[in-house]
Structure 1
């Protein structure tokens, strides 16, 4: 997934570039420090996502977003915008929302917040790619929910991210029966150890249940079943 970093601060742009490059599946295709360069690089590099600052020396980030979304650019390579800025003016927030920004991160913020948003974006893109031509209401709810973390995700243990938690939860939710950490690992692409950490968190959160399967020899196998959001019992249907 190609990312264009747009920020007038060279140091901030470098930090964001390094973070993006550290995430599997993401590649920084370019960096721009002005609105004019941002528009030029978007046309030349065709990124999938733009990390867009609103404070730019020659124009505003909102202007960049609007020009990219203008009718004259209809049919061009589609690009999404994640706004990253210190601008707290509600009119600017509203303009970013109306312009189609997937999220609005206020500086300063921990880099883990940006990582979480990028992972959410990747999971949402993955789900859209697998949804076919027609989306159900359930698909829509999940996609919009992925880009708008709830306050419940703030209770995640250190080292766990909301995006991966949603990916693991969705995999378990959609399974026909119970799954092991190995099963979840194979279906999501995360490591077995990582899958087990998230599965254990879902159990502690009351959304999944651990069951032990005993074989003829060796250790019992840990199997996980989706229960639903704090219901304490399997969901119907």
Structure 2
């Protein structure tokens, strides 16, 4: 179980983010902090694995707090969740060693993508006896599939990886609706990913006839 600390000065925002996290398999919110002082105390007492960090806190800038959190627990991972969009802010956060930077407002699916990517990275890095090849390292740093054309607007590398995995693990061709159910997203969103894979030659499309209306498009990993 990945233990998460949510740090945000807005009570309702922190509550929403906590609900998002707790709905993700393998994650548990162990605490919420509304100030930098509370956050440092919580890190020391609760020992979370991951922090969701807002930048605008009443007693300290979140990026300054980031360094103090790392001093308290060097192996702590941090996802910044903030409305701050300034280039210098993002650059400073990246240099501070965060694993993701998610801008407010965002959807449940946006956070799901980041948490899913983090979950896979988290598990890999905590298996010291398991050797990695370059493809594994590329995936950890979000470099998978660079030879492909850019993803459609609104699509993410993390979700694309999940769709590919669903296709590979499926016993046979699968529809967009079935993919959406496994993915926990809408049918329209799942179909966008599937159609992209079909255009790239990674998935093959077949038509299933029967019933009333247009035939159903079904997808399978290309040979």
TM-score, structure 2 normalization: 0.72
Matched, 1:79 2:37: no
| 1-structure distance, mates of 2:150, 2:61 | 31
The alpha carbon displacement at 1:43 in A equals 1.1
Aligned to 2:209: none
Please state whether the residue corresponding to 2:141 is helix, strand or coil: helix
1:169 to 164, 170, 177: 164
Matched, 1:119 2:116: yes
Matched, 1:60 2:51: no
Equivalent residue runs for 1:4-43 within 5 Å = 4-43=5-44
Aligned to 2:182: 194
Please state whether the residue corresponding to 1:82 is helix, strand or coil: strand
Q: Which runs of 5+ in 2 are unaligned?
A: 173-177, 184-189, 207-217
Q: Which runs of 5+ in 1 are unaligned?
A: 173-178, 184-189, 212-221, 227-233
Q: Deviations over 1:164-196 (max 9, x none)?
A: 531453587xxxxxx56149xxxxxx999638x
1:110 to 83, 107, 111: 107
Q: Deviations over 1:28-49 (max 9, x none)?
A: 0100000111111011111111
Q: 1:126 to 1:146 in 2, by over 3 A?
A: farther
Aligned to 1:176: none
CA contact (8 A) 2:4 2:30 kept: yes
Aligned to 1:230: none
Equivalent residue runs for 1:133-172 within 5 Å = 133-145=130-142, 151-152=150-151, 154=153, 162-169=157-164
The alpha carbon displacement at 1:129 in A equals 4.4
| 1-structure distance, mates of 2:152, 2:129 | 28
2:203 to 196, 201, 208: 208
Q: Deviations over 1:144-175 (max 9, x none)?
A: 1179x99516465xxxx753531453587xxx
Please state whether the residue corresponding to 1:44 is helix, strand or coil: helix
Q: Deviations over 1:33-66 (max 9, x none)?
A: 0011111101111111100001000111111111
CA contact (8 A) 2:166 2:179 kept: no
| 1-structure distance, mates of 2:162, 2:86 | 33
Question: Paired residues, what number?
Answer: 199
CA contact (8 A) 2:163 2:194 kept: no
Equivalent residue runs for 1:41-56 within 5 Å = 41-56=42-57
CA contact (8 A) 1:182 1:192 kept: no
Please state whether the residue corresponding to 1:30 is helix, strand or coil: strand
TM-score, structure 1 normalization: 0.68
| 2-structure distance, mates of 1:133, 1:66 | 30
| 2-structure distance, mates of 1:146, 1:171 | 20
